């Protein structure tokens, strides 16, 4: 299960709740809170954005426990990976139960973006400012801000399987150049052989889960979709805005399945998605990055809407395909994505990478 936790350095749960209630005044008029987690994780949060872990294990994660626990219950075993650029660290942790037996967890700690209305407090409030360097007109300080200005977002995967742990472990990444023949002979059989669970997607489409989070819906079964905030976005600021459009049609797995038949659907997602976001959040379409992933993390067609200034995971050129370009390509040639080769990254430990390796399509040292 996934937990979303906001950690306030040096504050207890009561203090954290009070700070959360006060934050986000500038954005609150346009950003609707969607059940942010408190300082204590209490049972499963909405089952969405499961693509990352279910891509690896096909839904074989053990069922979570309803028992509440705090982050202090977890013992850090090792650092799996860290990113200085993204200000994120991935930890392998363990929780010891009453029986004395340990259960694995993955903890992702991420520094949250600055909130504009709080920036003046960074300089006004008393804090420990340590001068590191002074040279002519340049100075460098290390600041120790008060708790309400040093928020960290923690995402907890608990219980975590070995596949979860391997997923977050630092791995080599390779670029794959997939022809249409490669897709038919390697990728598609691999997808069909897996038991990837996307029930959480159907739960949203059928309003069995997260119905209160829906920003927009076109209910047409052929050309409609549901637009919901991605769980990567805490909805406290617009700088890292992130929403996902899930189409109602269930037979479309990825970019490879799209033809000119799907142009009405794709145009609806593009146009209605932009209209819904500017209406709800005040962000115009010219400041949105709207794209599909290939390979996708889960095989139900979905479209990403992110703030243009946000360097979102997976938005790099080797994986992201702008929806407007996809529409133009299909309008030019209905079979465009059944003809052209597509490039995408795969980690060295991914089963699909091994399939390409076995087929002699990729070579690594020692292979």
Give the residue numbers annotated as catalytic, written as ranges: 302
Distance CA 164, CA 310 (A): 26
Distance CA 177, CA 340 (A): 10
The answer to whether residues 337 and 325 touch, using CB atoms and an 8 Å cutoff, is no
What is the SS3 assignment for 1? Answer: coil
- H or E element: which one contains 19? helix 13-22
Please provide residue 275's backbone torsions phi and psi, each rounded to the nearest 5 degrees.
-65, -40
Max intra-chain CA distance, the chain: 65
Q: CA-CA-CA-CA torsion for 142, 148, 150, 156, nearest 10 degrees?
A: 160
CA–CA distances in Å: residue 268 to residues 222, 265, 334, 356: 11, 5, 18, 35
Distance CA 23, CA 276 (A): 24
């Amino acid at each position: 299960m996934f937990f979303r936790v906001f950690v306030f350095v040096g504050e207890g749960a009561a203090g954290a709740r009070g700070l959360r209630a006060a934050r986000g005044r500038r954005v609150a008029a346009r950003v609707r809170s969607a059940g942010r987690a408190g300082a204590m994780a209490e049972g499963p949060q909405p089952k969405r954005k499961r693509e990352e872990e279910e891509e690896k294990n096909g839904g074989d994660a053990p069922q979570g426990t309803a028992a509440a626990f705090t982050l202090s219950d977890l013992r850090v075993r090792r650092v799996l990976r860290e990113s200085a650029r993204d200000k994120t660290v991935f930890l392998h942790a363990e929780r010891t139960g009453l029986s004395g037996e340990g259960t694995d967890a993955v903890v992702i700690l991420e520094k949250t973006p600055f909130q504009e209305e709080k920036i003046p407090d960074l300089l006004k409030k008393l804090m420990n400012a340590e001068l590191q360097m002074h040279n002519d007109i340049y100075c460098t300080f290390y600041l120790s801000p008060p708790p309400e200005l040093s928020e960290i977002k923690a995402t907890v995967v608990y219980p975590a399987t070995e596949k979860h742990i391997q997923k977050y472990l630092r791995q080599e990444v390779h670029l794959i150049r997939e022809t249409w023949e490669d897709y038919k002979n390697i990728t598609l059989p691999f997808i069909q052989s897996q038991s990837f669970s996307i029930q959480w997607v159907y739960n949203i489409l059928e309003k069995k889960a997260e119905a209160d989070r829906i920003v927009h819906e076109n209910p047409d079964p052929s050309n409609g979709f549901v637009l919901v905030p991605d769980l990567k976005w805490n909805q406290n600021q617009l700088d890292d805005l992130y929403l996902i459009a899930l189409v109602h049609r269930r037979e479309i797995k990825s970019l490879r399945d799209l033809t000119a038949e799907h142009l009405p659907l794709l145009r609806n997602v593009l146009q209605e998605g932009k209209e819904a976001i500017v209406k709800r959040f005040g962000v115009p379409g010219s400041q949105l990055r709207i794209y599909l992933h290939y390979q996708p993390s889960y095989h139900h067609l979905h479209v990403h809407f992110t703030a243009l200034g946000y360097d979102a995971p997976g938005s790099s050129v080797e994986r992201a395909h702008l929806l407007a370009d996809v529409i133009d390509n299909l309008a030019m040639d209905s079979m465009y994505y059944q003809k052209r080769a597509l490039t995408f990254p795969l980690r060295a430990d991914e089963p699909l990478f091994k399939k390409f390796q076995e087929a002699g399509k990729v070579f690594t040292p020692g292979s």
